């Protein structure tokens, strides 16, 4: 998602009234040509806004809330649900904990014995979407945003969601409005007020039975995605062979 160049110019004149475009780019480590092109087109990316906000010591959530479409972002900050925290634990970390518990190096309710992979992980977006979906999320998004179901599915399959959709998913689901921006990598967990050890605490408290079932579901989904990729690869290879 983007913000209008006019709104961006008004915002940047407030946070750095004496700074030129070159000064902004230098401080935020952005290519001057990139920002210049965005201004000419009349649309500035949210990534640019976040980079400049960080450079000037402004919380990115606070900065984004200055723009249309994000006005309620600051007010909509609430702690992630346990399901959201678990969605940001990679499949490999789930298997590591299962192995640790089988070897008695980990136990329910105790701190885990290894460091979790940083987020977002490879399937963060899809896992988060599934964690907040109560059954009618896709239909609600289509109604609210006009996105075609196949386009939404394509984004999820590719492991991405537009910034606009991330915020709408959170609004529909009743979770923190910034959480989708964390799982896509736009914001850090700290910038969205995630607990520093939130994932670890929820994971360590998970009973063995629930841990096994969660890992099973994750691996089942992973197996289906890999099978589809293999089938697509085989089909493409066959097509090229026939053309050759």
**pLDDT tens readout for residues 113-142:** 999 999 999 899 999 999 999 999 999 999
Q: 33: how many CB neighbours lie within 10 A of its CB?
A: 9
The string of pLDDT tens digits covering residues 197-224 is 999 999 999 999 999 999 999 888 878 7
DSSP 8-state class, residue 40: H
pLDDT value of residue 194:
95
Residue 80, classed as helix, strand or coil, is coil
Write down the residue that tokens 């902004």 correspond to.
24
pLDDT classification of 243: cutoffs 50, 70, 90: low
**How far does CA 241 lie from the centroid of its chain?**
39
- What is the location of CATH 1.10.260 in the chain? 2-64
- pLDDT tens figures, 41-98: 999 999 999 999 999 999 999 999 999 989 999 988 899 999 999 999 999 999 999 9
pTM (two decimals): 0.88
Query: What is d(CA 168, CA 187) in angstroms, rounded to the nearest whole number?
Result: 16
179 or 227, greater pLDDT: 179
pLDDT of residue 235: 73
For residue 118, give the 3-state DSSP assignment: coil
Whether 231 shows a pLDDT value over 90: the answer reads no
- What's the CA gap between 143 and 210, in Å, rounded? 34
Q: Which residue has the tokens 């945003």?
A: 145
CATH 1.10.260 at 2-64, yes or no: yes
């Amino acid at each position: 998602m983007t913000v209008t160049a006019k709104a961006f110019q008004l915002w940047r004149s407030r946070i750095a009234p004496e700074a030129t475009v070159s000064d902004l780019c230098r401080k935020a480590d952005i290519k001057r040509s990139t920002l210049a092109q965005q201004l000419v087109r009349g649309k500035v990316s949210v990534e640019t806004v976040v980079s400049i906000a960080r450079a000037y010591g402004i919380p990115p959530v606070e900065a984004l809330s200055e723009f249309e479409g994000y006005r309620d972002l600051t007010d909509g900050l609430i702690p992630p649900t346990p399901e959201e925290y678990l969605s940001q634990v990679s499949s490999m970390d789930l298997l590591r904990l299962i192995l640790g518990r089988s070897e008695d190096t980990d136990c329910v309710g105790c701190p885990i014995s290894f460091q979790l992979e940083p987020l977002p992980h490879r399937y963060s977006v899809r896992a988060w979407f599934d964690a907040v979906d109560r059954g009618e999320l896709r239909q609600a998004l289509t109604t609210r945003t006009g996105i075609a179901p196949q386009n939404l599915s394509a984004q999820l399959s590719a492991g991405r969601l537009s910034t606009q959709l991330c915020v709408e998913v959170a609004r529909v689901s009743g979770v923190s409005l910034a959480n989708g921006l964390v799982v896509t990598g736009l914001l850090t967990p700290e910038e969205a007020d995630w607990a520093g050890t939130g994932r670890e605490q929820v994971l360590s408290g998970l009973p063995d039975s629930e841990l096994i079932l969660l890992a099973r579901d994750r691996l089942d989904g992973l197996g289906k995605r890999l099978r589809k990729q293999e089938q697509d690869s085989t089909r493409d290879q066959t097509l090229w062979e026939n053309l050759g």
